[in-house]
Amino acid sequence: MPRESLQPWFLRSPARFYVLLTILHAIPALLIFLFGVGYLKKRALETAQFQNRVSSVLIGQALQEVFNGLTKYAESFASRPELLQALESGDKESVVWQLNEMVKGNERISRVVVVNARGLLLYDAPEDLTVAGADYVDMIWFRQASTQAGTYLSPIYERTSRAGGTVIAIAAPIF
């Protein structure tokens, strides 16, 4: 029987020694690499979150400006003497023409409706016969515009007309 060497197993051959030495050097390098990757990932995530917050603020400000402009546009349109006179005289052709002009005058507006104090549709542009005489009394924009002073900006909701889609209503009372 061969006599066992008193040397540790890794010193019994140069190949074992060099493999062990390589492994011992690779482990700290691997740990440093993994730490570095984790750190870079964390920094990239923090940077992305910061950029998202900044973008959200900027988008919010831009949307606020858009809706402020649309609100002013709706308010000024609702107080137009020509519109008020046409509504008072019941001149449907003139009212519808002016409502169509409002839609044409601003690409962000897709539809305009005029409802009476009970929430019944009187006029709309573009005209949609599928909602003729519709009752809007349960719509949040009607309830809010009927009970508060000033113009009301609704939350996003599903459109009731055949055009479908989601919309935000700007309700400006006409006096």
Q: Which of 10, 7, 9 is nearest to 24 (CA)?
A: 10
Grade residue 58 by pLDDT with cuts at 50, 70 and 90: very high
The sign of the CA dihedral 66, 149, 158, 131 is negative
Given this model, what pLDDT does residue 42 score? 96
pLDDT digits (tens, 9 = 90+) for 135-168: 888 888 888 888 888 888 888 888 766 667 888 8
Give the end-to-end CA distance of the chain in Å, rounded to a whole number.
114
Given this model, what pLDDT does residue 40 score? 96
Listed in sequence order, the residues at least 6 apart from 105 whose beta carbon sits closer than 8 Å to its beta carbon are 73
* pTM of this structure: 0.65
Listed in sequence order, the residues at least 6 apart from 20 whose beta carbon sits closer than 8 Å to its beta carbon are 10
- For residue 49, give both structure tokens: 């979150």
Given this model, what pLDDT does residue 163 score? 65
Residue 141: is it exposed, middle or buried by C-beta count within 10 angstroms (0-12/13-18/19+)?
Answer: buried
Given this model, what pLDDT does residue 46 score? 97
pLDDT digits (tens, 9 = 90+) for 107-133: 888 889 898 889 899 998 888 887 788
Residue 173: is it exposed, middle or buried by C-beta count within 10 angstroms (0-12/13-18/19+)?
Answer: middle
